[in-house]
Chains A and B, each alone.
Chain A
Amino acid sequence: MSRYVLRRLAQVVPTVLGITLITFVLVHLAPGDPVEVLASGNGDEGYYSFMRAKYRLDEPLLVQLWTYLTNVLRGDLGTSYLTGEPVFKMITPRIGSTLLLAFSSIIVSMTVGIALGVIAALRAGKFLDRAVLRVSVLTAAAPSFWVAQVLLLVFALRLGIFPSDGRNSPGFEGSGFTRVLDTLWHLVLPLSVLAIQESSTLARLTRTGVVDQMSEDHIRLARAKGLSEFKVIIQHALRRALPPVVTVIGGRVGHVFSGAVVVELIFGWPGLGQLILSSSQSRDTPVLLGVLMIIAGAVVVTNLLTDLSYVLIDPRVRLR
């Protein structure tokens, strides 16, 4: 078991390095450079050559790559061209926001999705089942930017019950519990956009799994033992139906991160998604690479956690 975990953790390094390498090359192959962005339509030859020399952009690509990689291995993610700030310092204040959004939406969609799936399975073929199935097809198909716009128009503009943007109210000065409440209030809409899509996928998967299980022998046995229908479903049917659902949840983590980019932009949520977009637009390579490395690492680790959780759900699984 621990050897398995170690081996999997060791895979994080080459994965992240590979992503870094590919991104580095791609960003440098694309025309345009950060100096053009800094000049923002002004400047002369003198300015361009001065700035390119300052940021060592005039060196050959391989030299730049070597410098970058050796710095990264020493724990230095470099400095932003645009802000002059160490990349690490730019990323840390935003990680919390993105993790909050991503993981709260995973938890909510897991709870809601599995619950709806079980309810639908219990009422298989009846009205409630059909309602869950149809609504989930609709919500899974609706693009997230559209869902976001509708939620904004209805709940922020017309009803005015949730804020339209940000993680806290403008100029918010409270701390402690009031701050947490303010954040949760701001979290509702962006969280909903992500959770609506994810939960509909999970609901359908859970429903199918549980319905399949219900016709199995072990369920008939459990019923024959005189267990309550609730216990039959939760302890016997759901437990057997869960592994594929957990696989999907694990696989969706990357999806949630990429969904978070869109959602962060629409709701002005101050996370890594905003940073990805702005740094790729401004060709701020060190920042872009830094963020992508962190996200790649996070996805690899959550996939590992997913695999480990099989052991808990299904005692027959042995990891080697």
Chain B
Amino acid sequence: MRKILSIALSSLLSISMLPAWSANAATTAIPKAPCTKEGDAARGPKKEKLVCAEVQGSKIWVPRGGDLVVAISQDPGSLNPAATTAGAVHTASELMFNGLVELDDKLNPVPELAESWTVNKKATIYTFKLRRGVKWHDGQPFTSADVKYTFDEVLLKYHSRTRAAMLSALSVVNTPDKYTVKFIFKESYGPLLLQLDVTEAPIVPAHIYRGSDPTKNPANLAPIGTGPFKFGSYTRGAEIVLNKNPDYFKKGKPYLDRVIMRVIPNSATQVVAFESGSVDFLWGIPGPQRARLLARKKVFDTLVTRRNPGGANCMMTVSFNLRRSITSNLGVRQAIFHALNREAFLRNVIFSEGSVAVSPFSKGIVWAWGRNLKLPEYSTAKANALLDAAGWTGRDGSTRTAQGVSGVANGTKLSIDFLHFPTFSAYAELYKAQLREVGIDVRLRPLESGPFSTAVFRNRDFDTNIISYCNGNDPEIGIRRMYDSAQIGSVAFSNAAAYSNMTVDGLFQQARNTLSISQRQGLYQKIQEQLVKDVPYVWLVETKGTRIFTSSCGGFRAYSLFAEEAYCSS
């Protein structure tokens, strides 16, 4: 009996060890052969028809048609990206919409629904000339009225990022004629062009939404947009089917016939579905699984990017509560920074999917991150010296105690708490272990996002915590909130440290009112030099995402319209 059982078990296990002999083994990678004349046709290795088409700026032979199956981990519920910033909604719906401009790899604005634009010297009036002949998916013409409606009634009310950035600054959106839109600001406003892509400001049709509550309009479940794909069907909790928009204003695109977004909440199942060939594209993949899959390079391709549906240029950041006696001391904060081996976080926690932060701002904002800054390097010797100097010289077991620390009773243990989402527990364990090396005791407090933001922002009940701050495309949108003294309050993911510095506040305001990128860069450099002196946060690691897809597909972009130029060999 025992024998039979063990044979049964071991054969089951050995089956699961065997290499997969399913669909993927047969796929052939598409040769990325360059071609010259758009529209030319040829035959590929599998006798399929190839056309000469533009993919990411260069002309190559690509197959036409076919389906792309994309795994998404959440049923979005709504498909209106203008009324929310929720990542799940944006992932599933952005391909059906467009912004006025799109951003290229270097974050330069390029024309999309707007053909061209001019800005007055003071950066208070932006005039956009709209592309003519663009049609909504239902055949209605796209005009300036749609832009005005979208901003006035949807984005500036319900899109939390765009509302927070623009509502107070914007005076009015004018439409002098059907193809001209003017944004008039109360004061100089520099960052507008970085806030108009399909993620920050997707344009929705006024003729569908006017007169309704945009959060409840039935079109949110069967949207009408201008984008490369049209809505096909939506099966709740299961999948969303998008069909090619044959009248897309970018002639010849998209190349795929359908994009199918498949709801698979469990990431392990996503990987099984991907490996067994029923899914072509994953947005991300858990660390250990990633290494295993990447070893099979011939079958899969990857795209590593700082952009994610939930936000771009995200940085894992440790906040110090500047209103607590222990962490209000600069020496202690510098000591903790020195005590953290950030390389180890990069290697062991995120499996090198990112980089160690080199400045307070993400390097992804290519023009704004601080140059030549010296963040406190990993050195337990320096950390110990700083803690000694701060008066934490006593010992209780392995933990330091206070001996003449201002504001702290002698004999008090150097013990701090660390609040984190349960998903960040690997960061927490390493943080605790590394600080123990210099005699700091850390109490971990894992909290789900709701209780976390109540404790941190409303009650300020923490010593240190970790937050993934997504820096966005412009410091004005994603970074200022962390340092501006006006943003110390109960709003989630604002100024967690309660950092307050009049000079920094002033510089941020000045940068917002400046149009020239090089002038803004100078201002942000000054801000970051000050921040490195004050250490309100530990800028730990910048995280990246890895898209992974079968090598029979290609042409993906990291950002919003990720499949606009994608193709798959059938």
Contacts and interface: CB of A to CB of B under 8 A. Distances in A.
A274 B238 CA distance: 10
Given A30-B451, A270-B237, A274-B265, A150 B220 contact: no
Contacts of B21: 160
B310 interface: yes
B157 interface: yes
B491 interface: yes
B523 interface: no
Interface stretch (B36-44, B54-62, B78-86, B122-130): B78-86
Given A157-B275, A164-B273, A265 B16 contact: no
Contact of B269 (A79, A266, A283): A266
Contact of A157 (B87, B213, B220, B272): B272
B493 A32 contact: no
A156 interface: yes
A160 B239 contact: no
Interface string B268-300: 110011011011000000000000000000000
Given A31-B451, A39-B85, A152 B75 contact: no
Of A154, A157, A169, chain B has the most CB atoms within 10 Å of the CB of A157
A90 interface: yes
A48 B491 contact: yes
A275 B265 contact: no
Interface stretch (B160-168, B435-443, B559-567): B160-168
Given A84-B216, A159-B15, A43 B164 contact: yes
B94 interface: no
Given A38-B86, A84-B216, A171-B258, A164 B310 contact: no
B264 interface: yes
B1 interface: yes
A32 B456 CA distance: 12
Interface string B1-42: 100110000001001101011110000000000000000000
Given A39-B492, A44-B491, A156-B272, A170 B260 contact: yes
A44 B164 contact: yes
B135 to A, nearest CB: 25
Of A150, A158, A163, chain B has the most CB atoms within 10 Å of the CB of A158
A165 B278 contact: yes
A152 B491 contact: no
Chain A interface size band reads 35 or more
A154 B264 contact: no
B454 interface: yes
Contact of B20 (A33, A90, A158, A171): A158
Of A32, A131, A134, A163, chain B has the most CB atoms within 10 Å of the CB of A32
A36 B453 contact: yes
A83 B160 contact: no
B213 A283 contact: no
B470 interface: yes
Of A31, A167, A266, chain B has the most CB atoms within 10 Å of the CB of A31
B120 interface: no
B278 A41 contact: no
Nearest to B167: A46
Nearest to B257: A171
Given A82-B77, A83-B220, A171-B258, A160 B86 contact: no
Interface in A10-43: 30-33, 36-43
Given A42-B161, A82-B77, A157-B275, A32 B453 contact: yes
Interface in A73-106: 79-80, 82-85, 90, 93-94, 97
Contacts of B449: 32, 36-37
A32 B454 contact: yes
A36 B85 CA distance: 11
B276 A160 contact: yes
Q: Is the interface of A mostly helix, strand, loop or mixed?
A: helix
A130 interface: yes
Nearest to B18: A158
Contact of A170 (B163, B262, B276): B262
Given A32-B453, A271-B237, A274-B237, A43 B160 contact: yes
B1 A134 contact: yes
Nearest to A266: B266
Interface in A152-183: 152-154, 156-160, 163-171
Interface string B475-497: 00000000000010111111000
B15 A158 contact: yes
B45 interface: no
A164 B450 CA distance: 33
Interface string B181-202: 0000000000000000000000
Interface string B451-463: 1011100000000
A47 interface: yes
Interface string B494-538: 100000000000000000000000000000000000000000000
Nearest to B69: A170
B206 to A, nearest CB: 18
16 contacts: A33-B450, A36-B450, A37-B86, A39-B492, A40-B310, A42-B160, A84-B217, A85-B216, A90-B77, A90-B236, A158-B16, A160-B20, A270-B75, A274-B263, A278-B74, A278-B75
Interface of B: 1, 4-5, 12, 15-16, 18, 20-23, 67, 69, 74-75, 77-78, 84-87, 157-158, 160-161, 163-164, 167-168, 213, 215-217, 220-221, 235-239, 241, 258, 260, 262-266, 268-269, 272-273, 275-276, 278-279, 310-311, 448-451, 453-455, 470, 487, 489-494
Given A41-B492, A134-B1, A270-B237, 6 more contacts: A82-B77, A90-B77, A154-B16, A158-B16, A165-B262, A171-B260
